[in-house]
Structures are given as structure tokens and as C-alpha cells.
Amino acid sequence: MASSPRPPLAERMRPRRWSELVGQQELVGPGGILTQMLRSGSIASMILWGPPGVGKTTIARLLSEESHRQFYRIAATTSGVGEVRQILAEAERGLFSSAGAPIVFIDEIHRFNKAQQDALLDAVERGTIILIGATTENPSFEIVPPLLSRVQVFTLKHLRRDELLALLKRAITTDDVLRTRTIVLEQTDALLAYSGGDARKLLNALEAIVEQHPDNPLTITDALVRSLLQQRTLYDKHGEMHYDVASALIKSIRGSDPDAAAYWLAVMLDGGEDPLFIARRLVIAAAEDIGLANPNALPIAVACFEAAERIGMPEARIVLAETAIYLALSPKSNTAYMAIERALDHIRHHGASAVPLHLRNAPTPLMSELGYAQGYRYPHAFPGHWVEQQYLPDGLENVRFYLPSTSGLEPTLGAWKSGPIEPDTPDSPPHQP
């Protein structure tokens, strides 16, 4: 019979007792407010706000275990309203068979949309559950006001250097796997810097080093850590990888590669990226890289953003995937982007010119006497709703900021009034008249 896979080091080192918690001493230390709640037996509904790997999940679980309350966990990235209501109903049925109201822990509660958060209000209001939400985002912006008013918000911080060192030493001396090895922490600066105050990231890196270097004794140095980190790429939605992968997604769309677009989208979603961050990038790509070659791309991307905002994860992944692939398959044009860049570049260098008199409004007799609006030709009064007329300032009549491309639908957009369209040079520098 095959043995079950060994849990990762970060899971094996998860504290099993309240006294083993590292960091957040103002909350979980001997005089901390959560410790006082635990001692009194009166635990309030709360939001634990802080960066990844600082103990939010562990604190919630230990509050449940040490108070002997039932514990229900909901992953906001995979749970819909129906599942939330089912768990709340089950939690309420167990209310009188436990030491008090059960704890319902919602990981990444900021991923819940308004409907999902509203589903929690009644149970929290009546006290039939103790809600503990974990979030990396500012609750003031991500939690609906009615729910936010019913909970306490506690802020957790990155672990300090001394706390991270204590975790490292505890791991190599107490873990059943690591203590069989002789591990010397000769240098720790690179390892601690890589962790960024995240205990999970620290222990994952330590485990990776140990697995890749079976020599005994193993001496951990900064050079060894840097060498490993150059070979391993782990998505970090708060670090440099956040922007690198977002760049890869956009460049894959720009390069019309739907498979690569789907891959980088999956990397971001699997790494816990905010779907609205991705949706915003897609809206920008639709305007910048697809543009007038497929004018439908921008409203589709905007609809994607609105859908992702309203339905949340996990269903939002489908909307994001459809949009990313649609953008990748669309013809490309950057002419709108280049046109505004050329116009802005001209204004930065030459300033904004006066509006020609015939384009100005004349709401008063004095303005009419000064020539405002005189000579303006109303296009709708002419055949085809178009008439030759100067719209640029004097002296710029022959300047062209918009240079149309021959891609997709763009050649048809102005052909009805301007005749054949000449190819553009989309990557040319802004025009300098």
C-alpha cells in the first residue's frame, strides 16, 4: 500500500498550541487581545488583515481548538453563495452541541463579492456563528460596510528578523525530517530577505534547499540561497514576479499566442492574484494593442472586468480566460495608442494652441461679434454627413497624429470619407512638426 505524501515543511511546522505562535505578540502574546478573548471564552467575529504567511489561518484554527468550538473553513476562491449558505446552515445546527457558536473561517474573504458577503450578515448579526475572515487587502475597501460594522479588524504584520530566525532554528531542530540532517546556518541574510517576513515562504525556501542538497552536513550560505532562487521561480503576487508574469501575459496577447496567454493567466490565478488586477490589464491591452483593428475588443474587456467584479472567483477565471484568448486571437493595431502619444508629445514640446474661432461656441452677442462660431460647417447638413473643414489649430492643418493601419477592421473605419488608406509605421516615434 502506497504511503501518503509527506506534508510540506510549512505545514509540518504549523503551531499546534497557542503558546507556539511566533510573531503578532500584541495580539497573541500573554497580554494580547486575542489571548484575552480566548481566556474569557468570549470570541468576537473578526477580520485578520495582513500579508501572506504571518499566521492568519493558524490563529483562526487555534482559536477554535483551544476554545473547543466547531471549525468550518471556506475558501473564498472556490466557494459560491450556495456553498456558503449550506455551511452556515450546518454551523447553526451545531450551535447547541458545542462549547458555543462555531467558528466559520473564510480564507481570502476579500475575494467574496457583495452577494457572498451579504449572505453572512444575518448569522453574524444573530451571533449564531463567529466569523473569522482572513485578507491581505484593506478591509475598508474590500469588505461591504454592513459586514465590516459587525466585526473587529485586527492588523497582522510581517515577521521580524528575530522571529524568522527562531522559526528556522525550530525547524532544523524539531522537524522529524530536518533533524535527521546536520544543517548549519552559516549565513541567513539572503534567506531572510527572500522571505520578506513571510514564514511560509521562508520554510518553503529552506525545504527546497535541503531537498536539492543531500550532502551532510549542509552549510547554508547566502551564495547557496541565491543560486537556488535563480533556478526556482515562485509566483508572488506582492513581489517582482507579480509584474513579470503580468508582462508575460500582455506580451503573449500582443504576440497573438492564445496558449501562452492561457498559461500565464493560469500562473497568476494559481498564485492567488486578484482577478480585478488581471481584468484591468486586459482592458488596457484591448485599447493599446488591439485597438481599432477590432473595436469590439474594448467593450468585451470592460464587460470582463464588470463580470469578474460581480461574480468573483472561481467562476471569474472562465471570463478572464475567454477574454484573454479573444484578445490574443484578435488582429492587432496600436494606432490609437501612438496617436495620443504623438499628440501629447507635440503639446509637451510646443504647448497647446488656440482653438480656431469657427470651432468655438458663441453664447453671447459679443462672442459672435468677435467671430466665434463664424464659418463653422455643420457636417450633418452635407451629403454623407461629412464636409472638408479645418479642426486642428492654425499652423497644424497638415499634421497627422493618427496614422491608420491595414490590420483587421481598421481600414474600413474611415474609408467612407477619406478614400484609400496608406499603411502606417506603428512603431515610429511621435511626430515632431
SS3 letters for 354-381?
CCCHHHCCCCCHHHHHCCCCCCCCCHHH
SS3 per residue for 162-178: HHHHHHHHHHHHHCCCH
* Radius of gyration over every alpha carbon of the chain, rounded to an integer in angstroms: 30
Answer yes or no: are the C-beta atoms of 411 and 291 closer than 8 Å. no
Out of 94-108, 119-133, 210-224, pick the least confident: 94-108
Out of 83-92, 112-121, 170-179, 391-400, pick the least confident: 83-92
Distances (CA, A) of 287 to 293, 327, 336, 346, 416: 10, 10, 8, 21, 23
pLDDT tens figures, 10-68 = 889 999 999 999 999 999 999 999 999 999 989 999 999 988 889 999 999 999 999 99
Give yes or no for residue 431 having a pLDDT over 60: no
Stretch 413-431: mean pLDDT: 51
pLDDT tens figures, 139-194 = 887 888 999 999 999 999 999 999 999 999 999 999 988 989 999 999 999 888 88
Superfamily name and number for 23-155: P-loop containing nucleotide triphosphate hydrolases (3.40.50.300)
> What predicted TM-score, i.e. pTM, was given to this entire model?
0.55
Looking at domain 342-418, which CATH architecture does it have?
Orthogonal Bundle (1.10)
Give yes or no for residue 426 having a pLDDT over 50: no
d(CA 250, CA 272): 18
CATH match for 240-329 among 3.40.50.1820, 1.10.1040.10, 3.30.750.24, 1.20.272.10: 1.20.272.10
Is the model more confident about 291 or about 136? 291
Answer yes or no: are the C-beta atoms of 68 and 36 closer than 8 Å. no
CATH match for 161-231 among 1.10.8.60, 1.20.1440.230, 3.30.200.20, 3.40.50.2300: 1.10.8.60
Residue at grid coordinates 457583495: 114
Q: Fold identical between 161-231 and 342-418?
A: no
